[in-house]
Amino acid sequence: MLNTHSTSRRVKIVCTLGPSTESPEMITRLIQEGMDIARLNFSHGNHAFHQTLFNNIREASRKLKKSVAIMQDLQGPKLRVGTLPPGGLDLKAGDTILMYPEGSSPKQSTTGKILIPISAEIAEAVARDTQKGARILFDDGKISTQATHVNAPEIIAEVEVGGKLTDHKGMNLPGTPLSIACVTEKDLEDLQFGLSLGVDAVALSFVRSAEDIDTLRKKISKNTNQLPLLIAKIEREEAIENQKSIIGVVDGLLIARGDMAVELGAERVPAIQKKLIHHCNERGVPIITATQMLESMIHCPTPTRAEASDVANAVFDGTDAVMLSGETASGEYPLEAVKTMARVILEAERSPELYSGPRDILPKPESIVESIEFSASRIAQHVGAVAIACLTHSGMAAKILSKFRPNKPIVAITENERILRQLAFFWGVRGSIIQKIVKTDDLFPILEKVMTEDGWAQSEDYIVVTAGVPTLRRGTTNMVKVHQISAHHL
């Protein structure tokens, strides 16, 4: 049985699945407590592991009769060190390090230098882009160095802030534009696998420009006609500079605040978050706020006050979804983390006076569907309707209705399960599946049956309906109607 609060909540919850939540029982409980989107992180785990997760999600979703989207998160050109000596390396300020491609031997003199192999597939490109004086950070910025000599594919740097460096920790080069391809060979293999499973969305890491998204879309189009949503992860300076053009070509954005903080400085992240959410809200593009939202709950059953405020402020900013990472993938209290996230969101949504999202957005001039859905959002409030039933084939009408942030629940009515899963990324959109409508069908009895059986409305309630007439034609939303549920639905 689903938690009743999960249908009244507008902001969606993304859960990263992993060792703590791979079993069918745990996935079922995550869905019951409010998981709307499951994230499969392809930076970890092999294909067999992810196939098991995928199958368990689909089965649990089917049994609970709740549409749960599955998002494949590609690793991207993650910069990492290679295999280090057992116990790692203790780096101190003033030490000199020599970075070289893993699997080869350094060409330069190693005297007085600490050797650090870096992933061979990125070493040449990183050295080619790095200039003398560039900052090179390790382990989420905990260790800081500065390049003193560059002789591709090797880099010599001086340690400014030391610490223990262990195997496969990440590297960041803040302020250094990287020419390395956004989609790696590993990503292509993972992508083909994900498409064969039928993932609902694909998230691309370290996006720099709209061209990165166009490249990915072309590669996907060669493999399938059932296009997943494309989600751009925003974490580098170039992406911030190109944010408007990126928003113009993607199906969604994910604010990857961890790498962003390392790349740009933690002090810049709050303002960037607000601006990204605002720009996405204006365009009707869903946006996910991610990273360390309830980080302490990896090892503790309750959040800090700062974490609760962080989640609530993302809701007030207008985010479409919030994401849990290690909290649900490998944490000790995954269910408690989801329950906490849901409670904080609901409490924040009870304070609309604090909301700074897109309440004043108007429909695009001459757009019939935008005018219809905008009107529906206002009419529902004025007439006291209990919900807005949005009959949609492609999902577009429900997506546009979400853009206007109505005060009433949005119920997408569609015959396409894949479309309904993809609508999980959009603020406030829930939904129901119906049989394919034919020309001879009377639309309103069908809608009444769905709305009452699925608990959205009761006898004599008013609902606002948007649809296209005739109902079989796509992209023809041209009708809004205030409809009262018949008395025989007692």
- Select the more confidently predicted residue: 2 or 19: 19
pLDDT of residue 3: 53
Return the SS3 of 161.
Answer: strand
Catalytic-role residue among 9, 12, 66, 80: 80
- Select the more confidently predicted residue: 477 or 245: 245
- Its CATH architecture, for the domain 5-77+181-350, is Alpha-Beta Barrel (3.20)
Mean pLDDT of 174-193: 91
With 60 as the cut, is the pLDDT of residue 292 above it? yes
What is the average pLDDT value for the chain, to the nearest integer?
93
pLDDT of residue 2: 55
Catalytic-role residue among 9, 12, 39, 408: 39
Query: DSSP states of 121-155 as a string?
Result: HHHHHHHHH--TT-EEEETTTTEEEEEEEEETTEE
pLDDT of residue 80: 87
Mean pLDDT of 161-184: 91
With 80 as the cut, is the pLDDT of residue 166 above it? yes
With 90 as the cut, is the pLDDT of residue 287 above it? yes
pLDDT of residue 168: 86
pLDDT category, 440, cuts 50, 70, 90? Answer: low
Q: Is 39 a catalytic residue?
A: yes
Q: Is 233 a catalytic residue?
A: yes
pLDDT in tens, 82-113: 999 999 999 999 999 999 999 999 999 999 99
pTM of the model: 0.93
Residues of the chain with CATH 3.40.1380.20: 368-484
Positive/negative CA dihedral, 321, 324, 328, 334: negative
Catalytic-role residue among 12, 233, 399, 403: 233
With 90 as the cut, is the pLDDT of residue 182 above it? no
Q: Is 430 a catalytic residue?
A: no
Mean pLDDT of 276-300: 97
Residues of the chain with CATH 3.20.20.60: 5-77+181-350
Mean pLDDT of 150-178: 93
CATH number for domain 368-484, candidates 3.40.1380.20, 3.40.50.1370, 3.40.50.2300, 3.40.50.10880? 3.40.1380.20
Q: Is 340 a catalytic residue?
A: no
The residues, any chain, with a CB within 8 Å of residue 325's CB and separated by 6 or more, are 16, 41, 290, 291, 292
pLDDT of residue 223: 85
pLDDT category, 122, cuts 50, 70, 90? Answer: confident
Mean pLDDT of 133-145: 94
- Select the more confidently predicted residue: 468 or 74: 74
pLDDT in tens, 39-78: 999 999 999 999 999 999 999 999 999 999 999 999 988 8
Could you give the angle at which helices 396-403 and 368-383 cross, rounded to 10 degrees? Answer: 60
- Lowest-confidence range among 11-15, 360-364, 439-443, 452-456? 439-443
pLDDT of residue 476: 78
Residue 363 token pair: 């429909």
CATH number for domain 89-172, candidates 3.40.50.300, 3.40.50.2300, 2.40.50.140, 2.40.33.10? 2.40.33.10
pLDDT category, 181, cuts 50, 70, 90? Answer: confident
The residues, any chain, with a CB within 8 Å of residue 197's CB and separated by 6 or more, are 50, 51, 54, 70
Burial 26-57 (b: 16+ CB within 10 A, else e): bbbbbbbbbbbbbbbbbeebeeeebbebbebb
